[in-house]
Amino acid sequence: MKKVVVPLGPYHPLFEEPEYFELYCDGETVVDIEWKAGYNHRGIEKLSESKHWDQVTFLVERICGICSTSHPIAYCNAVEDLLKIDIPERAKYIRSIIGELERLHSHLLWVGLAGHFLGYNTVFMWAWKYREPILDIMEMITGNRNHYAMMKIGGVRRDIDNGDIDIIKKILGELKPKLEMLTGSVIDDPVLAARLKGVGVLTAQDIKDYGAVGPIARASGVDIDVRRDSPHAAYDLVEWKVITCQDGDVFSKAVVRLLECFESIKIIEQCLERLKKVKGEIAIEIREIPPGEGIGHYEAPRGECFHYVRSDGSSRPVRHKIRAPSYVNIPTFKTSCVGETIADVTIILAGVDPCYCCTERAITVYDANTRKKLFNGRDLITLSQEKTKKLKKRLGIKDE
Amino acid sequence: MGTLEKIKERFGNKIKKIFMHNEKRAYIEIDKNHLLDFTEFIFSLPGVRFVTASGVDNLDNMEIIYHFSFDPEDLMVSIKTFIDRNNPEIESISNIIKGAQNIEREMYELLGIKFKNHPKLTRFLIDELPEGVYPLRKNAERQVEQ
């Protein structure tokens, strides 16, 4: 049988940044996958060396539009590690609140998109509708729906008004039953189970080999979470638990993300309650950064963000190394996609939760020998949706 | 026995310097010839996770820092090696840790460090740069102007 190369990208709504995948297919089955990155390479590590320590916080916020507070938290953790300082208690709670609100909206965004790729547009509509009030809370607290600019070395830049706390709690309270309904509708759905269980499986050994992190690791039974393992912000001051699943398939990844939303709400509610009582400063003043090295990490919605900074005592970092979670999660495709069908690859790639800052769609399937176009991006999503429809028919479930 | 004790017991005087920034951050300096032994041993310890590697241009030499996280202990062990800047070459650890392939390719591209026995040492991020220009080196701007 002749092999077909299926290029995915560089611009595709599945990917968090323009990236390029080449799927080598034998008939419907993927036999190998190649990855090429760099389409969105902005040289942020180099840029960081030309910015003041305080400016870098805003620079790293621009790494990702969806998890835009994770990089500043990780960076501030790194500099605070270098300085060996602890931040004020009120700032700790505010950091956790912003971090968890971000996780909530990021996970809901993923659930919606995953629903769309599988032909469950109701899930897509619900998830994105329920995400909206969270962005409203963000706007209320920070003034922005995204890029909150809340973090600062030594604390946070803006306080949360105690008068807003009850309103935020009310919005979250209203969100909870809706989230429960959404979670139930995904976890209990027989078609989704048939479509996602056993697809794109990663074992704990694969996770170790690739160093994968976040919900990808936790869905394979690897119990790691920086928030618990390396306590910072308010994560050791409130009650919550790390969600893990054992199967390592796309279904487990969905379950982990959905259940994490409830933990996030639990963390936010406790932090808000404490904020009412904790008074005092929200940041300590840093006058200079002495020579030295610092490492900071933070559990972003997609996994661990890692920052390493080195100072020579001047006003700028001499080296700033950043490792985003997708950098180690994406290479797992080499294991998870091989042996699967093209229709499933769409959801396996989406299962890693790349974010959606690029909306242009430009994928086309070429015949490897004649270079003749076979399908485009829309056709591939249709292929995935068709598979769900067929499954529904087989299971005797009527289409929506 | 803690992770650090295990490393100290196994390698003893092969460790050039050990520096504890605080109880969660250990920096161990080693000779580049011992890199594979260290990597193999550290990657076999329980609870280990390879995080990433940071390449640094110090102008008089090049430095690579391999970061390993021991999540159950909340410990980050960073293995430091120094290599000659005029002939930056070091063994690849990708054959021990699959997840190190891309970061080594990135360092090859941005800092010009050659990794011996790497399974696929090709450009990964930027295609257009002329050969010999390495953006993360401290004299990169001057190189581009020339």
pTM, entire model: 0.89
Using CA coordinates, name the residue in chain A closest to B76: A295
Using CA coordinates, name the residue in chain B closest to A335: B98
Q: Are A324 and A305 in contact (CB under 8 A)?
A: yes
pLDDT of chain A along its 400 residues, tens only?
567 888 877 776 656 567 778 888 888 888 888 877 777 777 888 888 889 999 999 998 888 888 889 999 999 999 999 999 999 999 999 999 999 999 999 999 888 888 888 888 888 899 999 999 999 999 999 988 888 889 999 999 999 998 999 999 999 999 999 999 999 988 888 888 888 888 888 999 999 999 999 999 999 999 999 999 988 888 999 999 999 999 989 899 999 999 999 999 999 999 999 999 988 899 999 989 999 999 999 999 988 999 999 999 999 999 999 998 888 888 888 888 888 888 888 788 777 765 433 222 233 344 444 555 555 656 667 777 777 777 777 777 765 5
Domain ranges of chain A: 3-40+334-395, 44-327
A65 touches chain B (CB under 8 A): no
Residues of the domain holding B19? 3-145
**A contacts of B98 (beta carbons < 8 Å):** 209-210, 331
Q: Which stretches within chain A are classed as H helix? A: 44-48, 53-61, 70-83, 89-117, 121-142, 165-187, 190-196, 204-210, 215-219, 226-229, 250-277, 325-329, 333-336, 342-351, 377-395
Task: Output the domain CATH number for residue B43.
Answer: 3.30.460.80
Check A37 against B71: CB less than 8 A apart. Answer: no
Check B71 against A230: CB less than 8 A apart. Answer: yes
B94 touches chain A (CB under 8 A): no
B75 touches chain A (CB under 8 A): no
DSSP helix/strand/coil, B121: coil
Name which of B24, B54, B136 is nearest A308 (Cβ-Cβ): B54
DSSP sequence for A198-263: TSS---HHHHHHHT--THHHHHTT----HHHHS--TTTTTS-------SS-SHHHHHHHHHHHHHH
Buried b (16+ CB within 10 A) or exposed e, A362-386: ebebeeeeeeeeebebeebbebbbe
* Residue A243 tokens, joined: 């969600």
CATH 3.50.50.60 fits A44-327, yes or no: no
Q: Which residue in A324, A271, A284 sits closest to A74, CA to CA?
A: A324
Check A230 against B136: CB less than 8 A apart. Answer: no
Name which of A36, A45, A292 is nearest B136 (Cβ-Cβ): A45
Check A292 against B49: CB less than 8 A apart. Answer: no
Rounded-to-integer distance, Cα B9 and Cα B16, Å? 14
A295 touches chain B (CB under 8 A): yes
- Structural domains of chain B, count: 1
Sign of CA dihedral A91, A94, A98, A104: positive
Q: Are A307 and A82 in contact (CB under 8 A)?
A: no
